[in-house]
Amino acid sequence: MTGSRNTVSAPGKVLLAGGYLVLDREYTGLVFGLDARIHIHIQSLPTSSGVELSEIIVKSPQFKEAHWEYGYRLVENGGGIEVTQLSTSAYDKLHRNPFVETALAFALTYVSTRGTKIIKPATITILSDNDYYSTPESSTEDQVSKSTTRFLNFNVPLWEAHKTGLGSSAALVTSFTAAVLVHYLGEEVFNLSSDKEKRILHNLAQAAHCSAQGKVGSGFDVASAVYGSCLYRRFSPELLQAHGDPGSLEFGNKLQKLVEETELSTQWDTEIIKSAISVPPGIRLVMCDVDCGSQTPGMAKKVLAWRKERPQVAEQLWGNLQEANEALAAELVKLAKSRLMNHTNLKSRILDIRQLIRQMSKFSDVPIEPPAQTQLLDNLSRVDGVIGGVVPGAGGYDAVTLLIEDRPEVLEKIRVALKGWKPDIQEGSEPSIGRVRMLGVREEMEGVRLEDPANYDNWI
């Protein structure tokens, strides 16, 4: 029997090392899961006796106008489940959410291939931990830090919210997909603690996420949403170029073969190694939001164009960065095993990576570590107890990441250093850094997991 209500959460991520490199299978990325999660609560939608509905309602109560209604139908010729957004009023403008819509179509299609032909209506609620989005300028630092509200009302439409760069779309697609599978297949059929089912979830979420964003990305963010912190090597992009779209001929059958890896051509070559990443005792990760954000796809396009134009210079730099990233991962594991508290080598590893990243910024003319972020990281690195920091992932103006000694007084010193801080340089046409604040997140090893639905009653 499927459950009447279920809740699943998945973590955000930070790519501590391996930005841009992770796009190429020759290289790896060091990705940490974060304890900021996106939670999906799904429950059956009661209907009157004799009334048949094919409708799923999705809402995100932390944002204005974040309400979507979908109709769905099983398409003939193996086309899977086709999802259509419904208009609640002739006067309402339809605001599409491609990640929700695509995840729903892919998940329901896979459910239909597992023998579940009757899909009953449901209500799905999305709840995001507060650190996924910058808080309003009107909120003071004290108000944010002392807030007891687990899920803040951001009081803006979703499309106007400033993301902090924690991987909200990947965490959303992963938790959303998992919740739909658990709800309609039942925990006895789809068990999230099973390695096999978790692999299926990973493959399905990767396919849906890539389709929703209109391109085949590296997938490290989905991998960490499923598995938590890990060393990641991407899958071959060709895997996701032949299944078609929901409703197309044989889409359902192709998708099932892809996620279950039943044929040689559908076997995934992703590498996800959890033992290669560790956090030593006495060290933690923190992030500082600059309330700005970057246009990652445009930056990646420009970096890759430079790499193609200057292959010799780029390959040398790529190789040096890979070595520096591997040295950082090895140092973290070494410190975790030895339990030593000497962080001198760890500081050096972080500085090596930053130096190479700035070289990439200069050569490609892409603000991977912009001057303002350089000033911020240099300023924070001088704080007693801060080991070092980087602009993670693709860089730019997302939240910076620090490794620090895990002591309350270090956190307080960082807060003091950030109070009223602004860069003292003019960035021209580049985005301007807003209020800088420390987020409440830290590293987390665990990936997707079931939650107790009763814990969310106050917000549903």
Q: What is the architecture, at CATH level 2, of domain 5-274+452-456?
A: 2-Layer Sandwich (3.30)
Maximum distance among all Cα pairs of the chain, rounded to whole angstroms: 71
Q: Which of 6, 4, 5, 3 is nearest to 451 (CA)?
A: 6
Looking at residue 383, what DSSP letter applies? Answer: S
- What rounded mean pLDDT belongs to the chain? 90
Of the pLDDT bands very low, low, confident and very high (cuts 50, 70, 90), residue 48 is low
Q: Which of 13, 14, 20 is nearest to 321 (CA)?
A: 20
Mean pLDDT score, 340-349: 95
Residue ranges of the chain assigned to CATH 3.30.70.890: 280-444
Residue ranges of the chain assigned to CATH 3.30.230.10: 5-274+452-456
Q: How far is Cα 460 from Cα 442, in angstroms, rounded to an integer?
A: 26
Of the pLDDT bands very low, low, confident and very high (cuts 50, 70, 90), residue 400 is very high
Of the pLDDT bands very low, low, confident and very high (cuts 50, 70, 90), residue 294 is low
Q: How far is Cα 37 from Cα 9, in angstroms, rounded to an integer?
A: 6
Q: Which element (helix H / strand E) includes 127?
A: strand 122-128
CB 447 within 8 A of CB 33: yes
pLDDT in tens, 118-174: 899 999 999 999 999 877 554 444 444 444 588 999 999 998 888 888 999 999 999
Q: How far is Cα 104 from Cα 96, in angstroms, rounded to an integer?
A: 13
Q: Where are the alpha helices (DSSP H) in 187-227?
A: 195-213, 220-227
The pLDDT of residue 424 is 82
Comparing 292 with 304, the larger pLDDT belongs to 304
Q: What is the dihedral of CA 42, 178, 38, 40, to 10 degrees?
A: 0
User: Which of the residue ranges 7-11, 419-423, 424-428 has the most confident prediction, judged by mean pLDDT?
Assistant: 7-11
Cβ atoms < 10 Å from Cβ of 135? 21
Residues in the chain: 460
Which residues are registered as beta bridge partners of 376?
A: none
Q: How far is Cα 434 from Cα 446, in angstroms, rounded to an integer?
A: 32
Helix, strand, coil percentages, rounded to 5, for the chain: 40, 20, 40
pLDDT in tens, 189-238: 999 999 999 999 999 999 999 999 998 889 999 999 999 999 999 999 99
Task: Tell me the chain's radius of gyration from C-alpha atoms.
Answer: 22
pLDDT in tens, 302-313: 999 999 999 999
- Using alpha carbons, list the distances in angstroms from residue 328 to 18, 278, 426: 11, 11, 33
**Which residue type does 430 have?**
E
Q: Find how far residue 354's CA is from the centre of its chain.
A: 23
Q: What is the architecture, at CATH level 2, of domain 280-444?
A: 2-Layer Sandwich (3.30)
- Using alpha carbons, list the distances in angstroms from residue 427 to 189, 256, 423, 432, 437: 55, 49, 9, 7, 20
Residues whose CB falls within 8 Å of the CB of residue 298, separated by 6 or more in sequence, listed in order: none
- Predicted confidence (pLDDT) at residue 92 exceeds the cutoff of 80: no
Cβ atoms < 10 Å from Cβ of 136? 15
Q: How far is Cα 388 from Cα 83, in angstroms, rounded to an integer?
A: 47
- For tokens 């059929």, the residue is 189
Q: Which of 34, 56, 75 is nearest to 180 (CA)?
A: 56
